[in-house]
Structure 1
Amino acid sequence: MTDLSARASSPAVEKAISALPNLVKLGYRLMRDPRVPVKHKAFLGGSLAYLASPVDLIPDFIPFLGRADDLLMLAFALNAMFEAAGEAIVHEHWDGTGDVLEIVAGVVEWGASLVPWPVRRAVKRYLRGF
């Protein structure tokens, strides 16, 4: 087994992959929840559209960086939605175990922190309503 395949089969990676269906359901349920602000839903929807769009700030054919901008914006949008919804609502909609949600939320928060500060500031200003 190569080093890469050993890492890909690690328990942490397996947990992260197994959390994806629950994360998709969580995002869907938060989008439908009337307690979550509409602007946060629009930001997540826009981030998903950006992820699917062939137009990128950093073209996808550039190794690593091409997908990183897409994933960081998605993490930033999810983190903003988690914060806006609040812990109780997020837990209400989560199907998995609490420890996995904690890991997912930590990864999402870390990814959001990698978005450049001027972008974060502009988006937060928009979400607050200036």
Structure 2
Amino acid sequence: MRHARNNELTDRRSAAADAKASLLTAYRAAKTAAEPSRAARQTERISFVEAREARRAERERVKVEERTRLETLAAQEQAAIVAAATAEIEARRSAENTRISGVVQDEAARKAERDRRYAARKARQA
């Protein structure tokens, strides 16, 4: 009684075909049953992607603003440095001109004093 059934090739083939058909119907049923949750997952994934893109765009915008702010700050600092250097050069030039004019005035005063002494000496001799 070991082989109570007569398991011929055609019986095995039909059993395999029936098993495949039942697996296919089970797959189709599971697929149609999971359709609403799949759509929900898909919309959730789309919302995650949109949120990620929005965060990335915000980070990029902040980076650009920060870079622009730093460039503006650097330009202002550079302008301040140039203005300070120009003011210092102008101050040195002004001090140099003042010193030169003072030397010229002293020289003129010395020459005038010398000429006055010379004229006084000539007046005494005459």
Q: Is the pair's TM-score, using the shorter chain for normalization, greater than 0.5? A: no
**TM-score calculated relative to the size of structure 1:** 0.19
**TM-score calculated relative to the size of structure 2:** 0.20
The structure with the greater share of residues assigned to helix is 2
- Structure index of larger Rg: 2
